[in-house]
Amino acid sequence: MANLHGFDANRVEPSTDFDPLPAGKYLAVITETEMKPNKAGTGHFLQLTFQVIDGPFKNRFLWARLNLDNPNVTAVQIARAELSAICRAVGVLAPNDSVDLHNLPLVITVKCKKRTDTGELQNEIKGYTKKDSSPPVTPPTAGTTPAPSANGVPPWRR
């Protein structure tokens, strides 16, 4: 049993299901990183949490897992190449800790793929590039408009 300290659902909007983001490019930052053991217990992966910071999908989250410690040499090579792309995209070529990659803008390329177990669509990050002066192209979504920033120019565009 847990004390909910007088929580009142009448005062909070309920959460809704999130459909996957449309395939496209999104300006994002890494907000969290954590090294976790893999299911088999034979290695570890670095889980990265990305937050979209601009456009109609602002504040949505996506995740990537990099098999940096794994008995499968190919999996490690792929993970290291992906980490290299992330480091180059955020401009930190020799991080001492994964936290060195946090809160630095980059453009992520997102694809949609079907889950093998349920057949539902899910997002997968397929690429990382430097943020440049032109905003990423995100597919339009019916009924959504980008929210204006508080002071006109977001800090990552200055």
37 belongs to a structural domain: yes
This prediction's pTM:
0.76
User: Looking at the predicted structure, is the pLDDT value of residue 143 above 80?
Assistant: no
- 150 CA to centre of own chain: 23
Does 156 reside within a domain? no
Mean model confidence pLDDT for the chain: 87
Instruction: Give ∠ CA 63-27-96 in degrees, rounded to 5.
Output: 60
Distance in angstroms (rounded) separating the CA atoms of residues 93 and 24: 25
Domain region containing 81: 18-132
Instruction: Confirm whether 10 is domain-assigned.
Output: no
Residue 146, in any domain of the structure: no
Q: What is the mean pLDDT of residues 112-126?
A: 94
**pLDDT 10s digits, 31-82:** 999 999 999 999 999 999 999 999 999 999 999 999 999 999 999 999 999 9
Residue pLDDT, tens place only, 11-27: 888 877 778 999 999 99
- Give Cβ neighbours of residue 53 (< 8 Å, ≥ 6 apart): 27, 28, 29, 59, 105, 154, 156
- Quote the number of domains for the chain: 1
pLDDT over 50 (residue 145): no
